[in-house]
Amino acid sequence: MTLIWLRFAVLLYGVAALAVLPAVLYDRPRWRHIAVPATIAAAFFHFVSLTEMLDAAHHRLPVEAHEVQSLLALILALAFLLVYARYRSVSLGIFVLPIVFLLSTLAAFRPGEESFSAPIRTWWVFLHIVLLLAAYAALVVSLLASLLYLIQERRLKSKSAREGWLSPLDTPLETIDQIALKMLLFGLPCMTAGLLIGSVIAQAQYGAKYFGDPKILLTFAMWIAYVAMIVVRRASGLRGRRAVYLSSLVFLCVLFVWAANQFSAVHRFTTP
């Protein structure tokens, strides 16, 4: 039952990690009513699992690596809940809850204790790929929209909005900027969900070494850059050239992630 409780907690942590995104980044405060209760429930089942785990091992302090990972995840989850109780803010959850999810996943899906059958895993891998491709596509569209914003802005400043070969593209700058931002807001949940699903599947098969894979490290770095870009854009109203620079930086991270396939032990595909 220990792993059952912990895996259920992992599921709830995943729900909370996804729900906190619209609560903080998209100005949807109602989503905190999902993120916070899900974290509370997850922490409860996590505590039950950890207690049973230590009791079955006949020691009160964590000794094994998976026990330390589980305890650290629980402490971080409780820290997030304490911050929310004190300040009524879930902003910290953008970074804390995914870390809690990953640490608890390491403890819940250890090699040799996999519970995914081949057909189920195939569907989850398919969903993992589709979500990440959707996130990459959204990023590309956002980058193109930002470039279009820059072109239109220059044309307006040069007082040639009604002249030249770009005249059919006379779209208001505000509309173009909203397209770029909304594509980013669409892509972030896709990327987050894709990473969470991939982490569970790969951890069950490869163990902790999965998180030392070059592509995985670059992917998480790209996720952090993605979140930072949205935060900066929403906080400062960033547009034009600087928005293009930010989008280009994250797109460059995407290219590095794809290039890392050559050095990845997890994402290397060979032909028969």
Count of Cβ atoms closer than 10 Å to residue 164 Cβ = 9
CA angle 178, 183, 188 (to 5 degrees): 130
Question: Which residues constitute the domain of residue 69?
Answer: 2-108
- Regarding whether 215 and 143 lie in a shared domain, the answer is yes
- Regarding whether 206 and 123 lie in a shared domain, the answer is yes
- Regarding whether 23 and 153 lie in a shared domain, the answer is no
Total domain count for the chain?
2
- Regarding whether 71 and 154 lie in a shared domain, the answer is no
- pLDDT by 10-residue block (mean), the chain, 272 residues: 86 93 84 94 93 79 77 91 90 87 83 52 79 83 78 68 48 74 84 84 68 72 79 68 69 68 55 38
CA 147 to CA 170: how far, in whole Å?
14
- Regarding whether 215 and 161 lie in a shared domain, the answer is yes
Tokens of residue 153, six digits: 């802005």
- Regarding whether 202 and 89 lie in a shared domain, the answer is no
- Regarding whether 193 and 59 lie in a shared domain, the answer is no
The helix or strand, by DSSP H or E, that contains position 177, with its residue range, turns out to be: helix 173-206
CA 114 to CA 76: how far, in whole Å?
25
CA 183 to CA 218: how far, in whole Å?
22
Instruction: Quote the pLDDT of residue 269.
Output: 45
The amino acid at 266: V
Instruction: Quote the pLDDT of residue 211.
Output: 65
Instruction: Quote the pLDDT of residue 120.
Output: 52
Question: For residue 272, is it within any domain?
Answer: no
CA 142 to CA 140: how far, in whole Å?
5
- Regarding whether 127 and 95 lie in a shared domain, the answer is no
Last residue of some domain: 75, 108, 141?
108
Last residue of some domain: 108, 128, 163?
108
Last residue of some domain: 80, 108, 136?
108
CA 245 to CA 4: how far, in whole Å?
46
Q: Single out the residue of 193, 198, 175, 5 nearest to residue 97, CA to CA.
A: 193
- Regarding whether 246 and 140 lie in a shared domain, the answer is yes
- Regarding whether 195 and 142 lie in a shared domain, the answer is yes
CA 160 to CA 177: how far, in whole Å?
20
Q: Single out the residue of 139, 149, 140 nearest to residue 171, CA to CA.
A: 149
Question: For residue 270, is it within any domain?
Answer: no
CA 93 vs. chain centroid, Å, equals 12
The amino acid at 45: F
